[in-house]
Amino acid sequence: MDLNFFITTCIGTIAFAIAAPILGCLISGFDRIISARMQGRVGPKLLQPYWDVRKLLGKDKVAVSGSEDTYINLALFFSLLAGGLFFSGGNFLLVVFVITLSSLFFIVAAYSTRSPYAEIGAARETLQVMSYEPMILFMAVAFYQVVGTFDVSGVFLLSQPVICTAWAVFLGLLFVLTIKLRKSPFDISSSHHAHQEIVKGITTEMSGPTLAKVEVMHWVENVLFMAWVGVFFVYSNPISIVIAIVAVILIYFFEIWVDNNFARVKWQAMLKWAWIVALLAGGLNVAFLAFF
């Protein structure tokens, strides 16, 4: 392994591990406030997600399975590593594989409890991964075709943003982004809307510090996934970073609007439409870039 790559990744991962939970907590707070306003409620305070996690960390550590916490620790670690690789300008395809590995450890953690409710949630989580993964892989291929390398740092050498030639892939990403952000209509494994679940799906048997790590992992994932949106707008012009930030804010607001205005669909519809979008938006865009 190249020493410079190792050092850069370590620094990027440490920086991401510090900054991402803070930013992710604030994003979660804004999400809850905006959702409350859309529903005609006052809503919680901005830092309510922080106080929720802090309360969970103060509870006794109780686990149905002795290996559950280990799997969650690994899931959190790989989500942080994926973010470190991305923000240090590393290989985007590797980032996709690492964040998928994080999702798999999360699924295994739920299965390890042997709870029927958690197992149903884990099965649904697996279906979510199967739904969005093809589109994400098409996005990685299109990224390579446009940038000429899988390295994220390559976008800063472009004369125009990736979205100019991969706009169909971007639209496909927006569709599966709703799944990855765990928002309705595709929040089938563990809903944050109380009226949709009697129990908490994949996290049914998780509590205390273990559940706190899951919440932090979701914060970290949200920051990483929204950074994927932003990378479509970044190129050699420094002003593009500002444009990317504005685009990320608008897209996230759109995702909140979708979350509050669409009812949950069945897993069959999610899987079908995610693959259709992947083949049409991702497949055709990749084919166009390859031959034209």
According to the model, what pLDDT value does residue 162 have? 95
pLDDT band at 150 (very low <50, low <70, confident <90, very high): very high
Could you identify the residue written with the tokens 């299965």?
111
Kindly report the backbone phi and psi dihedral angles of residue 6, in degrees, each rounded to the nearest multiple of 5, phi listed first: -65, -45
Burial class from Cβ neighbours inside 10 Å (0-12, 13-18, 19+) for residue 54 reads: exposed
Q: 3-state DSSP call for residue 91? A: strand
**What's the number of CA atoms in the CB half-sphere (13 Å) around residue 59?**
17
According to the model, what pLDDT value does residue 1 have? 54
Per-residue pLDDT at 12 exceeds 80: yes
According to the model, what pLDDT value does residue 192 have? 61
Convert the pLDDT of each residue in 66-98 to its tens digit. 788 899 999 999 999 999 999 999 899 999 999
Asked which of 111-125, 150-164, 245-259 is least confident by mean pLDDT, the reply is 111-125
| Greater pLDDT, 292 or 53 | 53
According to the model, what pLDDT value does residue 119 have? 87
Convert the pLDDT of each residue in 178-203 to its tens digit. 999 988 888 887 766 554 555 677 88
Convert the pLDDT of each residue in 208-233 to its tens digit. 899 999 999 999 999 999 999 999 99
Per-residue pLDDT at 171 exceeds 90: yes
Which distant-in-sequence residues (6+ apart) come within 8 Å of 202 by Cβ?
A: 106, 107, 110, 118, 121, 122, 124, 125, 189, 190
According to the model, what pLDDT value does residue 239 have? 95
Q: Provide the residue ranges of all domains of the chain, joining segments of one domain with +.
A: 3-291
Alpha helices in the chain (DSSP H): 3-38, 48-57, 68-87, 92-111, 116-147, 167-180, 208-231, 239-261, 267-277, 284-291
Question: Radius of gyration of the chain from Cα atoms?
Answer: 19
Q: 3-state DSSP call for residue 123? A: helix
According to the model, what pLDDT value does residue 199 have? 64
According to the model, what pLDDT value does residue 245 have? 96
According to the model, what pLDDT value does residue 175 have? 94
Q: Which residues of 73-107 are buried (b: 16+ CB within 10 A; e: fewer)?
A: ebbbbbbbbbbbbbbbbbbbbbbbebbbbbbbbbb
Residue 59 tokens read as: 């509870």
Looking at every residue in the chain, the average pLDDT score rounds to: 90
If you average pLDDT over residues 243-256, what whole number do you get?
96
* Whether the bond into 21 is cis, omega within 30 of 0: no
If you average pLDDT over residues 271-285, what whole number do you get?
94
CB 65 within 8 A of CB 40: no
